[in-house]
Amino acid sequence: MKQFFKYTCATIVGIIITGILATVFGIIALAGIAAASETSGSVADNSVLVLNLSGLMQERSENARLSAIAGTEGTIGLDTYLKAISNAQKNDKVKGIYIEAGAFAADSYASLQAVRNALSNFKKSGKWIIAYGDTYTQGAYYVASVADKIYLNPQGQIDWHGLASQPIFLKDMLAKFGIKMQVAKVGTYKSMPEMYTATEMSDANRAQTQAYINAIWGNVVNDVSKSRHITPQKLNQLADSVITFADTKEFVTEHLADSLIYTDEVKKIVKKRLGMEPDDDDNIKQVTPSVLAAENDDEGDEIAVYYAYGDVVDGAASSPNSNHKIDAQTVCRDLEKLANDDDVKAVVLRVNSGGGSAYASEQIWHQISELKKKKPVVVSMGGMAASGAYYISAPANWIFAEPTTLTGSIGIFGLFPDASGLLKDKLGIKFDAVKTNAHSDFGAISRPITPEEMHILEGYINRGYQLFRQRVADGRHMTTAQVEKIAQGHVFAGQDALRIHLVDQLGGLDEAVAKAAQLAKLKEYHTSPYPAPASWLDQLVGQISGGNYLDEGIRSQLGPLYEPVMMLRNIDKADAIQMRMPYEPNIE
């Protein structure tokens, strides 16, 4: 029996050691592959840059190195696409771009507009762009419409229906559980709390939403009109007619597409563009965005591009969900390092956020103000830079926005849940209290906020609003009276924000970098992204440990309900005082 246990234990130990060694060697092997993937990427002569418009495009690529190992693109990053298209324009080995459309969406029409503008600039080099798809989502079609030729599967579809915004209201649902949201706010247009306190849009919110979706759609229609030579009036008629479900021949008749063809035919067209024989057996030389984006030019002085996107939070624990966030503790530390780095001559802050914590916004505002004392700071706004995200943008030397960026929303609110109905009436839980002072139990879950306490909170919120207004006035060189006329939580499209001096110029990231170079008086320069992308090992550990797959699974199931539900789930972890607009305006 002793021998049995001895050999059994030896076997178990052997298995454990073997497992450990296999894991170690596996990681070493992956390290080698990752290192090779970072250095082996090269562009062959007579290549085509392939843009696969499928999936969700976000501000930055995630898991890019692991995706390279797997031979896939992973999450579509706006940063990768813009860099790849720019490098493709300058690389003589790249002859054109092939866009393959599919089930594609982006975080905003501003991001779509940025890619489309980059493609438009690419065409100025004399190179060609061809687009093909079985189906085009409206966002994919908007991007692809810049192409020289648009081809469609003979049984395919082009979605073209216009825009709609459908806010979600949870008041009645919460009431079924005995929960009521108590709100203290400043700003007639500050609509975010309506999600929990109303059953329909207020007149002010309806007016501002109509204004900015009209502005976004106007940009989409005008851009497509110029590229496809279809009048804006006709494009709106096609949207009204729901041409999405029309016979495919109508897409060609109405000039939305150039021809109905199959995949083998589009290959021949691309080969012909490359100077190859259409029936040549040689494969088309393709290059992915990640390979082209990796081509760096380190000549000249450094301009840091710091990406700040997601909810503004004060520490990771206060984040309403596991998505990317603007953590004040991390951002302030990073900006301080950039301020003290003599190699960095200017900083471009790339902002894409609907805001969040008022306390965190103030911390970041302070750090940007300190950074500005040492070197130029230029803000490049993405899909949104509103409320708390505008707060942190205000002190910059210069602010850029896309015409379709959502910005402004200068207002503040506090959201305080009253669960006494759930606890007392639904669950039968009783409370009693002993206290030393009149408001010792202020904020207790056992009772709602009293009118006197609400008056105190409103005074506190109002002081926060006055500070917000002052921060904007100081940063934008306006009086508080001038700011008040455009404040009250009002959300504006970027093109309208320019008119009222909330932004200085319309343009994307490239224009913001050029402005930063001008302010820093640089003749030659290159950009470096911050924070640095996660290492391959961090990405691997994140994948093994589960990452945020569970969260993404919940997101896919809840759809537009995801953000409000996650905010409710974590409301006790978030700061009570918020500068926020809905992270997703639910524009479809």
Residues taking part in catalysis: 190, 387
Give the CA radius of gyration of the chain: 27
Lookup result for tokens 């843009």:
51
Measure the CA dihedral 251/256/261/267, to 10°: -170
Polymer length in residues for the chain: 588
Q: In 3D, which of 51, 525, 73, 85 has the Cα closest to residue 293? A: 85
How far is Cα 588 from Cα 586, in angstroms, rounded to an integer? 6
Helix, strand or coil, per DSSP, at residue 296: coil
How far is the C-alpha of 145 from the C-alpha of 86, rounded, in Å? 19
d(CA 526, CA 300): 6
* CA-angle at 329, arms to 324 and 110, nearest 5°: 35
Long-range CB contact pairs, 264-268, < 8 A, 24+: 265/151, 266/130, 266/132, 266/151
Give the distance, in angstroms, between the CA of residue 10 and the centroid of all CA atoms in the same chain: 53
**Are the C-beta atoms of 251 and 152 separated by less than 8 Å?**
yes
Three-state helix/strand/coil letters over 479-530: CHHHHHHHCCCCEEEHHHHHHCCCCCEECCHHHHHHHHHHHCCCCCEEEEEE
Using CA atoms, how far apart are residues 272 and 486, in angstroms rounded to an integer?
Answer: 55
C-alpha distances out from residue 290 to 72, 101, 196, Å: 10, 18, 42
Q: Which amino acid is at 9?
A: C
Please answer whether residues 461 and 577 qualify as being in contact, where contact means their C-beta atoms are separated by less than 8 angstroms. yes
> 284: alpha, beta or left, given left = phi > 0 and alpha = psi -120 to 50?
beta
CA distance 106 to 112: 7
Q: How far apart are CA 82 and CA 289, in angstroms?
A: 9
What does DSSP assign to residue 395? T
